Structure 1
Amino acid sequence: MNKKTVILHIGLPKTGTTSLQQVLHFNSAQLKSRGIHYLENGTQYFDDFGHHAIAVSGMGIAGARVTPHLDLNALRQVWHQALDEIRYSPHEKVFLSSELFSMEYSNENSIRSILQALTDNGQVDIKVVVVLRDVADFVNSVYMQRVRDGAPDTIEEFIPQIRHLLDWKTLVERWAAVAGKGNVVCLKFEDLAASNLVSRFCEIVFGITERLAEPEHFLKNPSLPDAAINLIHKVNRSEISPAAKIGLANHLSKFFADHPLREPKTSFLSPEQSQALRAGCRWPQDVIS
């Protein structure tokens, strides 16, 4: 019998992770028929069925700031149940996906701790999958999401907050130092998105060539037109209540999900800012197209 492998998809955010998590969870029975177990524990806490609760629970007390709606007891319970689900799964591969792994596990010690737990101290093999993206487009998309989530800061205030994360070579080397260089698979978002992102991901990672079905109620996260996102940002910087701010953002997101406008995506970055970000972001050599 082959040794079990945990396939850990760590993001990045804004690289199709929400779509991927929803489709794979929806097709979990079909995946199991192919020996791939989409981990169930923890997915019930998030609409996209990602494993964010696992990522947060692996951070211990520090994780409480990321998901304040989950108390420490709930996180501990999720953690132990998830490890048992991996340990006792009869399937050859167990898949987990959360972009929080790439953003919150920022040093080798935290990575080593989570990988040792997920692999039962080496009893299970590990494969880490990371989807990288043009860094300027990444920053623009992450910032837009922050605005939609109620953040009042400007793009100039936001960039320094995440600058330490914006070197893809360092990110990959950090995970490879613990998992092993041959156990980290790097994909490029732009190449995946040129066809069907989920299908291409599954072809590379799982060897599945047929297209998986999408759930009927698909969680959509559409880009908003300039006028809408600028209105949200203006309201975020006002004295209006936080609940009203989120209510406006949710209303506009739902409206444009139901009535999309074919407009270019809003760009918060100047050409000079984009150029500086790209100049400071190194890419790893081995990226699968």
Structure 2
Amino acid sequence: MARRVFVHIGTPKSGTTYLQSLWWHNRGALAEQGLLLPGGSAHVQFQASAVVRDNAAVLETMTERQLGAWDHLVDEIASFDGDALISQEQLVETSRDSATAALDRLRAVADEVHVVVTARDLVRQVPSAWQQRVKHGSPTTLRTFFTRVAKDDPDFNFWHHQDVPRILERWTSGLRAEHVHVVVLPPPGADRDLLWRRTCELLGIDDTGLSLDAPVANETLAPAEIVFHRAINAHFRNAHLDVSLSRRVKAFMEPRLGGAAPQRIALAPDMHAWLVERGRRMVDELAAAPWHVVGDLDDLRPDPAPADGVDPDAVPDSEVLAVAQDFIAAELLARVAEPDDAGAGGGAVSETSSEDAKPASRTALGKALRRLTRRGE
């Protein structure tokens, strides 16, 4: 039976990829300190989270063995006598009943159960969440996305993932207040390792000798790359709502973008002002709650002064065309370099695209690129 189990439930885009990369990169050393990462990989923990949150669209893509991922995690924790860490940001979307059932399962195999939320200010979260939707196949503009956000509908996907007080209402049934932790993401310009040190303090990790150079993919795209990606997405109807199609589009596009110098996304003045006020209200709620805070809640209060940046809905066509040209050139070079396994005429299929997706990808890509080329004439 475990001593403590920590369930890091998100939020998405709050340093989760960075933390998870370091945890899994140092998995062996952490185990020597008495901290278990059950499941063997981040992907298995994602599968377990899909079971916990009863995500039908994801469950349909999983094998029978994968559907048992949550049971396997619980069994592994039960046979460990130290601490355990589950980290999966999609757990934030779990319903109250499902979260309570998951906590009950963990209480049966650990002396203490702790819930951890990492949080970042809303002015930074909205552009990041929007970009993530685009990378998963959405053609939505930032303005359209913000319009949905500003309705403040608790059932909208963004708020289900980012309204920290509501998330904790769903995830704290039967937990003592001191076992619920809000870890604050530092503001821009702070020491980049500060979030890591805050989580080490919480988990009781001594990071002396741990490797902090784990490879972390650069998930940020330049504004022109985002516009190009949206143009491609428009040819895959509702891809972001279809798990299988979304994965194929993302797998095809992601390795081929990200080369441009990242630029900060600027919010229009009305967007910025609304999020500053909404962010302040959320922080006030957290300040009045009994949860344990690691860091300074004031770091979650957005800066009232808008930062410099680029409006992704007003990127010049010439910049988008340049991205398209680089994209085409890189894809052609990759295909020319492939061995001609198909005999007369065709290169081998890239590892990042499937046979089923290849014809559709090429057709849609061609249409989008022709449209973008016409825009640049």
Alpha-carbon separation, structure 1, partners of 2:128 and 2:222: 13
Offset of 1:5 from its aligned partner? 0.7
Alpha-carbon separation, structure 2, partners of 1:265 and 1:211: 34
Alpha-carbon separation, structure 2, partners of 1:192 and 1:115: 34
Q: Which residue of 2 aligns with 1:221?
A: 218
Q: Quick one: which amino acid aligns to residue 204 of structure 1?
A: L
Offset of 1:10 from its aligned partner? 1.0
Q: Secondary structure at the match of 1:76?
A: helix
TM-score by length of 2: 0.63
Alpha-carbon separation, structure 1, partners of 2:52 and 2:276: 32
Offset of 1:193 from its aligned partner? 7.9
Q: Which residue of 2 aligns with 1:162?
A: 157
Identity in percent: 23
Is the counterpart of residue 94 in structure 1 residue 84 in structure 2?
yes
Change (3 A) 1:143 1:211: farther
User: Does the Cα contact within 8 Å between 1:232 and 1:245 map onto a contact in 2?
Assistant: no
Offset of 1:192 from its aligned partner? 9.8
Q: Which residue of 2 aligns with 1:112?
A: 100
Q: Which residue of 2 aligns with 1:275?
A: 273
Is the counterpart of residue 63 in structure 1 residue 61 in structure 2?
no
Offset of 1:270 from its aligned partner? 2.2
Q: Secondary structure at the match of 1:54?
A: helix
TM-score by length of 1: 0.80
User: Does the Cα contact within 8 Å between 2:10 and 2:90 map onto a contact in 1?
Assistant: yes
Query: Which of 136, 139, 143 in structure 2 is aligned with 1:152?
Result: 139
Q: Which residue of 1 aligns with 2:121?
A: 134
Q: Secondary structure at the match of 1:18?
A: helix
Q: Secondary structure at the match of 2:257?
A: helix
Change (3 A) 1:126 1:247: same
Q: How does 1:6-25 map to 2 (within 5 A)?
A: 6-25=5-24
Q: Secondary structure at the match of 1:194?
A: coil
Q: Which residue of 1 aligns with 2:3?
A: 4
Is the counterpart of residue 250 in structure 1 residue 255 in structure 2?
yes
Is the counterpart of residue 74 in structure 1 residue 65 in structure 2?
yes
User: Does the Cα contact within 8 Å between 1:111 and 1:178 map onto a contact in 2?
Assistant: no
Alpha-carbon separation, structure 2, partners of 1:44 and 1:209: 20
Q: Quick one: which amino acid aligns to residue 31 of structure 1?
A: L
Structure showing greater radius of gyration is 2
Using the TM superposition, name which of 24-33 and 199-208 deviates more.
199-208
Q: Which residue of 2 aligns with 1:124?
A: 111
Alpha-carbon separation, structure 2, partners of 1:76 and 1:247: 26
User: Does the Cα contact within 8 Å between 1:8 and 1:127 map onto a contact in 2?
Assistant: yes
Q: Which residue of 2 aligns with 1:287?
A: 293
Change (3 A) 1:270 1:177: farther
Higher relative contact order, structure no. (Cα contacts within 8 Å, ≥ 6 residues apart): 1
Q: Secondary structure at the match of 2:36?
A: strand
Q: Which residue of 2 aligns with 1:233?
A: 230
Structure 2: state its 5+ residue gaps. 240-244, 296-377
